[in-house]
Chain A
Amino acid sequence: MMNKKGYLALSATALLLLAACGNGEDNGAASEGDDFEGITDDPTELTAWMWDPNFNVAAFEMAEERFQENNPDFSLNIVENSQADVIQRLNTSLSSGVETGLPNIVLIEDYRAPSFLTAYEGSFYSLGDYFETSDFADYKIAAGTHNDNVYNVPFDTGVTGLFVRTDYLEEAGYSLDDLQDITWEEYIEIGKSVYEQTGVSWITNDNGDLGLMRIMMHSSGVWWTDEEDGVTPFIEGNEPLRLAFENYKEMVDAGIVNIHNDWDQFIQTFNNGDVVTVPTGNWINASIMQAEDQAGNWGVAPIPRQSVEGSVNASNLGGSSIYVLNVEGNELAAEFLAATFGSDAEFYQDLLVDIGAMGAFAPASDGEAFEVEVDFYGGQQIFQDLAQWTQEIPEVAFGQRTYEIEDILSVALQDFLGGADLDEVLQNAQSQAELAM
């Protein structure tokens, strides 16, 4: 004989719960129904998955606005997650074969794109016919090309520069001119001298992150994997990779490297003025310019090249492209991208001015925004320089295993720095990477 109070309390709890959960559904009820099957029901609203609120999301909001001028019904629903989370969700959705909730548009880092295009063949929509692919730097288009079909509209370039503290340089008797078109060996020599005179570290690096090696190798046009199949590891006998390892060890042994462990510490190092040069992607610009007290003390030189044939003073680190999923709404998504990121030179000017985003769209680099003299960099036209270097970046086949092989190589690098024989280290890494295939 359960008393009434007990039942009442129980059913009240249950009701409350139902109501609470139901509430979650009802809120924004107008859009709930459409949203849920938004992709099929409402062809004027598209969903996009991406990361970075100040950069990618801001860029897409601007693109949405521009596209709306001629397509007033159009709207873009941007879902913001971290990059790792976008990958996790995309992988789960695509590998379970459930189309419910898949976005129309997704941003993928160039290094990761080949593995997605291979693993989920047929899940992406070919975009090559929608825009002029030759307007973009070759290496960006190559990252999204699979079986001769172009699946990406390139977005931000990861063109690298050698960001330098000119005041430290001058203190040691050098100027920005001494860093023009040099090799990594020359870079190290100058570094030793500057370090001796100023006591400030020449470069900062995270030993677990092979970004610096990637920069070096990309300038010579090779990658961790075979350029034909994109899977076979190319570690043993990879001359630029070998040289990258050797050069880095020389820097470490000379004591001119500051070691940081994560992204915050990286930013902290140059914001605090604890390092002279930052060789990295142009996207670091916003973080460098955060330290307003250092205005006028920075400059950008071309990235050093490797002492191997074919290496150039231009490279890339990071950067991503836009992909369209092969679900309903794909044609609209393609048209939207073609009209904005794919062809609109003026839009790229706005992107640079408003959010500091540099695209890989060649026709845009003649615009006014690129010619601006940046006071923070002593009046240097850094965007024009970077845009010019973008077009010089060698084409590289990123392959499907960039980060997987890097996990193996970062251990190898530690061994090598610890004094192990380089041939042996690379041989081991090669066989480990082959085993993992």
Chain B
Amino acid sequence: MKNQETMKKVFMYSFLILTSVMFFFPFYFLIISITNPSIDITRGRLLPGTHFIENFRTMIETSLLSRAVINSTIVSFGQTILSIFVSSLAGYGFEVHKSRGKEIVYNMVLLSMMIPFAALMVPLFRLFGTISEVAPIFGIDTLFGVILPYVSTAFLIFFFRQNTKMFPKELLEAGRIDGLSELGLFLKIYMPTMKTTYAAAGIVTFMGAWNNFLWPLVILQSPRNFTVPLVISAMGSGYLIDFGAVMIAIFFTTIPTAIIFFVLQKHFVAGMVGSIK
């Protein structure tokens, strides 16, 4: 009996160790690679080297990465704050308020999730072409232009509505009796109560914004405005690629998302299962 238990454990641990190694290996290779010259990276060297400083220098000299990190940070934070605010207002409204035709509108919003972005790109670009003529600061080749299409997304509205189902509506009644305005109810009762939902939505949106590629690629034209994925993609294309520099760029841009995730991990899990304190 005890023997069987041990066997089970041994099996379980070896399985877990094996999968951990599999998941950890890409990171290990990334970290090793930033210290090796390009030739050793293509040769698949798995030991640390001495080329870190050269790689770093090449990366700084040949790419606009530092500028891109600033741009990506602005876009990601901007998009996260704006979109979770706007979408949570919508999700809250859909769930809490009653109005005729509400469900039809909501279903239409959900349907828009079915349209792939690639199909929207050309019409969207045309729209921004027109916006550029009227208000250039919101148009093509601006960071606002990157954020605007994502300010309200069907997924977030859906996410907030679903989570709002568990929100105790009595709190709103109590707030009304105490004389809070409708906006006050949202800002001072709903938002603090739904903290974990906001955290989960925030992480998802931030990661999506940080890694977003297609739309920034199309809308941003000057290198000065490029975001991180665009710069990395450009570095990895050519007859002779300096993998050392590419690896350094990837390394430094993986850090922010990793930090954000680890800081908010607790809330993220709680938010995903929809807990309310």
Report the tally of A-B residue pairs with Cβ distances under 8 A. 145
Partner of A287, one of B63, B128, B184, B240: B240
Nearest CB of chain A from residue B136's CB, rounded to whole Å: 6
Bound together, the chains give a CA A93 to CA B124 distance in angstroms of 11
- A280-300 residues at the B interface, CB under 8 angstroms: 283-284, 286-287, 290-291
Please judge, given known A-B contacts A21-B74, A85-B230, whether A100 and B140 are in contact too, CB under 8 Å. Answer: yes
Are A96 and B82 within 8 A (Cβ)? no
Nearest CB of chain A from residue B217's CB, rounded to whole Å: 6
Residue of A nearest to B184 (CB): A2
Are B230 and A81 within 8 A (Cβ)? yes
Count of B residues near A, CB < 8 Å?
A: 59
Partner of A82, one of B121, B136, B236: B236
Are B141 and A101 within 8 A (Cβ)? yes
Are A21 and B222 within 8 A (Cβ)? no
Please judge, given known A-B contacts A52-B238, A53-B238, whether A24 and B71 are in contact too, CB under 8 Å. Answer: yes
User: Contact size class for A?
Assistant: 35 or more
Max chain A CB contacts within 10 Å: which of B42, B141, B235? B42
Bound together, the chains give a CA A158 to CA B82 distance in angstroms of 49
- A245-277 residues at the B interface, CB under 8 angstroms: 263-264, 267-268, 271-272
Bound together, the chains give a CA A22 to CA B138 distance in angstroms of 10
B188 at the interface (CB under 8 A from A): yes
Residue of A nearest to B78 (CB): A17
Are B125 and A82 within 8 A (Cβ)? no
Partner of B233, one of A23, A85, A98: A85
**A24: B residues at CB distance < 8 A:** 70-71, 74, 142-143, 225
Are A88 and B179 within 8 A (Cβ)? no
**B236: A residues at CB distance < 8 A:** 82
Max chain A CB contacts within 10 Å: which of B62, B184, B214, B241? B241
Are A2 and B239 within 8 A (Cβ)? no
Are A21 and B233 within 8 A (Cβ)? no
B154 at the interface (CB under 8 A from A): no
B180 at the interface (CB under 8 A from A): yes
B81 at the interface (CB under 8 A from A): yes
Nearest CB of chain B from residue A424's CB, rounded to whole Å: 35
Bound together, the chains give a CA A47 to CA B142 distance in angstroms of 17
Are A291 and B39 within 8 A (Cβ)? yes
Max chain B CB contacts within 10 Å: which of A3, A35, A98? A98
Bound together, the chains give a CA A97 to CA B127 distance in angstroms of 11
> Which residues of A line the B interface, CB within 8 A?
1-3, 6, 10, 13, 17, 20-25, 27-28, 31, 35-36, 47, 51-56, 77, 79-85, 88-89, 92-93, 95-98, 100-101, 263-264, 267-268, 271-272, 283-284, 286-287, 290-291
Give 10 A-B contacts (CB < 8 Å), ordered by A residue. A1-B180, A2-B184, A17-B78, A20-B74, A22-B137, A23-B74, A31-B224, A53-B62, A81-B233, A271-B42
Known A-B contacts: A98-B140, A100-B129. Give 18 more (CB < 8 A).
A21-B142, A22-B137, A23-B74, A24-B74, A31-B224, A51-B234, A52-B238, A55-B238, A80-B223, A82-B234, A85-B233, A88-B217, A96-B126, A97-B129, A100-B141, A268-B43, A271-B39, A287-B239
